[in-house]
Amino acid sequence: MGNICSRASNDPEAFSSPGRVVGTNPSNQSAAPRASVPAKANWKNSPGRTLGDSAGAQGDSDEARSNAAIAAQKRAETASSGNKGKLGSKLAAQKAKTQTQTLNEASETERATRAQDDQREVAAYQ
């Protein structure tokens, strides 16, 4: 059948030419520009630092931590105080219902919808 997808103008096959020695640059490509190598740093002798630790910011982090703790305490107090608002009271009422009550309520709603549909059909024929 032949190779119908290939053209004579395509590049030669990748492995048709002889290889090169590892560590040498290919002859047909120019060397890409490289970033300069940084000067040697004496990082082996430095003690390093703990993550998150910065000079002079210790007081700021303590203050932020205490503010976050105060805010969390206030949120906990308002959640436990019973002042849930309109949506919170609706949710509490839904949670208090049993499965039977929920199914009966859904059934009543469906019956009312069907009754309204029947009334519309009767009114349309009159």
Quote the pLDDT of residue 125: 87
Quote the pLDDT of residue 37: 74
Going from the C-alpha of 84 to that of each of 40, 45, 69, 76, the distances in angstroms are: 62, 59, 22, 12
Q: Which residue has the higher pLDDT, 105 or 20?
A: 105
Q: What is the helix (H) or strand (E) element at residue 125, kind and residue range?
A: helix 99-125
pLDDT tens column, 56-112: 555 567 888 999 999 999 888 877 666 677 888 888 888 889 999 999 999 999 999
Quote the pLDDT of residue 103: 94
pLDDT tens column, 27-42: 655 556 777 777 776 6
